Structure 1
Amino acid sequence: MSEPMRLSVFKTYKLYVGGKFPRSESGRVYEVTDSKKGAWLANAPLSSRKDARDAVVAARKAFGGWSGATAYNRGQVLYRVAEMLEGRREQFAREVADAEGLSKSKAAGVVDAAIDRWVWYAGWTDKIAQVVGGANPVAGPYFNLSTPEPTGVVTVLAPQESSLLGLVSVVAPVIATGNTAVVIASERAPLPALSLGEVLATSDVPGGVVNVLSGRTAEIAAPLAAHQDVNGIDLTGADEVLAKELEAAAAENLKRVLRPQAVDFSADPGTRRLTAFLETKTVWHPTGSLGASGSAY
């Protein structure tokens, strides 16, 4: 007896905004093809300006709780994401192979590196304050203490070519330090980023901490660069012309801007991206007794 024929069940990729999976507000999609033969892979949502604004609202709503969590707790949450990524290695290896034209073994190596990179940033959550903060020597009877604080809502233009390792390398440090993110996936290869949204939804990351949009990078980035409730922007995925336009728009509300530059994402990332979207708060406090209470700092 012959086996019954089955209908193919194609995956429907969706945006990830506020912990949910909406289709684009416009209803638009665009074709995603593999990098070798140009074969159709899936239809990805073509995000609109309204989707971008919704993502900022979600990120702002999530910022208070995420930035207020302890650094240790954030580290545990990020490690949970790595656990979930590990459980879906085969799916991500397939998506990376299609996106970047790699063999199965090389794509698997990229996925392993991305998981390791996520674990690496998870370990930094409760250590970065010791690196960039501290007690400052002053001439007077005071303690002068500097501590890092997150900038706020950060727009991240993911790398165009490194669809997973590069993506993780730019997103993880933003949220590890207490910021929330609106991520614009690689325009040509958005599927690993959209799948990462599924991983985040099934981990312990609160909805809105990371929001993933797909579509035309320039079309989505323009309103985000000018948005008054976005506090920083990482231009890694922008070309030189687009980066200049977005940097000019970002100046309107003095956003922190991380300019694009050539990056080997397989190399040791250092702490540059961890400190890119941190502010330094400095507190003065008198030494000795404090008034009638007699308490001391």
Structure 2
Amino acid sequence: MSERLAVKKTYKLYIGGKFPRSESGRSYQVADAKGNFLANAAYASRKDARDAVAAARKAFPGWSGATAYNRGQVLYRVAEVMEGRRAQFVDEVAAGEGLSRGKAEKSVDEAIDRWVWYAGWSDKIAQVIGSSNPVAGPYFDFSVPEPTGVVAVLAPQRSSLLGLVSVLAPVLVSGNTAVVASSYERPLPAITLSEVLATSDVPGGVANILTGRLADTAPTLASHMDVNAIDLTGAAGDHAHAAELELAAAENLKRVVRAPGEEPDFTPEPGLGRIASFLETKTVWHPVGI
């Protein structure tokens, strides 16, 4: 018998809960850490980035208007489906990051646990970040955290799954919607995560994932007037590019998580800093007794 031929895939983007081809029609080859061909991924264009922002904006009212408890349930369901596809994630992380099987399994388990950790904060973050304020008068005064809106996320370029989860989950848990520009050389875990999102209970448009070069999509996301915040973690180490993106983001006073000097270690417990980065604080006054 002849040896069976491998079925090589050509993946698409994830926008608005669907899997469209890039409007440019372009794709690129994804290789493992040793240079062996793995698959083809779509080359997202500026038009694709604009379409993803439109999808995220459309999904924002429903997602931000859902109860925190419901968002937590939905995000926990994502972790359940990730667990069911654990073996595939392990294969992709091991191949893309050049890790041993054992180290890849540890990284995937940490990513799933990280998603569960953030999901658990959905109905608790308001009590921790919000407050009841003392005032000199017959009033109640409350500080209430609210989602910022549409958040563009430049995913880490080396940590293809744990890093991705660590920057995406805190955006979603607080009611924001996201447009993610994935790792260019290691996009397969992000693509598989998009398939997980599509088969979980996450409404279409809440999370949108673009593959391709940051140089093609990041400037559009940074300058887009309907993007409310941007996380520049994926531009770590590229000071000139990060500075250009910050300047573009200033046009509509976006909230900005600045690019670090080098990609962070995502293994420690993250704390609440990333959730707080994408929350606004609304102050509500109410007369006592009414």
Counterpart CA distance in 2 for 1:130 and 1:217 is: 36
Given candidates 4, 18, 22, the residue that maps to 2:20 is: 22
- Superposed CA RMSD in Å reads 1.0
**Cα shift readout 1:34-85 (whole Å, capped 9, x = no counterpart):** 12x2111111111001100000010000000000000000000000000000
Deviations 1:177-235 (A, max 9, x none): 00000000011111110111000000000000000001011210001100000000000
| 1:120 aligned partner | 117
What is the aligned partner in structure 2 of residue 265 from structure 1? 266
Aligned to 1:250: 249
Letter in 1 for 2:23: E
Query: Counterpart of 1:220 in structure 2: which amino acid?
Result: T
Letter in 1 for 2:44: S
- Name the counterpart of 1:11: 9
CA-to-partner distance for each residue in 1:255-295, whole Å, 9 max, x for gaps?
0000122522000100001101000000111113xxxxxxx
The answer as to 2:169 corresponding to 1:172 is yes
Give the match's secondary structure for 1:64: helix
- The higher radius of gyration belongs to 1
Which region of structure 1 is more displaced relative to structure 2, 48-57 or 134-143?
A: 134-143
Contact residue 10 and residue 42 of structure 2 kept, 8 A? no
1-structure distance, mates of 2:211, 2:75:
23
Residues of 2 paired with 1:116 and 1:213: CA distance? 24
Q: In the alignment, what sits opposite 1:77?
A: 74
Task: Measure, in 1, the Cα distance between the counterparts of 2:273 and 2:96.
Answer: 27
Distance 2:45 2:133 in 1: 47
5+ long unaligned stretches in structure 1: 289-295
Q: Which amino acid aligns with 2:285?
A: W
1:21 maps to amino acid: F
1: CA distance, partners of 2:120 / 2:254: 27
CA positional deviation for 1:4: 6.2
- Code of the aligned partner of 1:81: V
Q: Residue 214 of structure 2 corresponds to which residue in structure 1?
A: 217
Take 2:59 and 2:240, find their aligned partners in 1: how far apart are those partners? Answer: 32
Distance apart, 1:5 and its partner CA: 5.1
TM-score of the superposition, structure 1-length normalised? Answer: 0.94
**CA distances 1:122-143 after superposition (whole Å, capped 9, x unpaired):** 0000000001101101111111
Moved more, 217-226 or 68-77: 217-226
Deviation per residue, 1:15-38 (Å, 9 max, x gap): 100000011110101111112x21
Instruction: Name the counterpart of 1:293.
Output: none
Q: Output the amino acid matched with 1:120.
A: W
Q: State the distance in 2 between where 1:189 and 1:6 align.
A: 26
1:95, distance to aligned residue in structure 2 (A): 0.3
What corresponds to 1:31 in structure 2? 29
**What's the CA shift for 1:151?**
0.2
Alignment map for 1:92-241 (pairs within 5 Å): 92-238=89-235, 239-241=238-240
Name 1:282's counterpart in structure 2. Answer: 283
Aligned to 1:50: 47
Runs of 4+ in 1 over 4 A off after TM superposition: none
* Paired residues, number: 286
Looking at structure 1, the residues matched to 10 and 126 of structure 2 have their Cα atoms a distance apart, in angstroms, of 41
Equivalent residue of 2:218, what SS?
A: helix
- SS of 2:233 mapped into structure 1: coil
TM-score, length of structure 2 as denominator length: 0.97
Percent of aligned positions with the same letter in both sequences?
71
In structure 2, C-alpha distance between the alignment counterparts of 1:93 and 1:6, rounded to whole Å: 23
Q: Distance in 1 between matches of 2:102 and 2:9?
A: 24
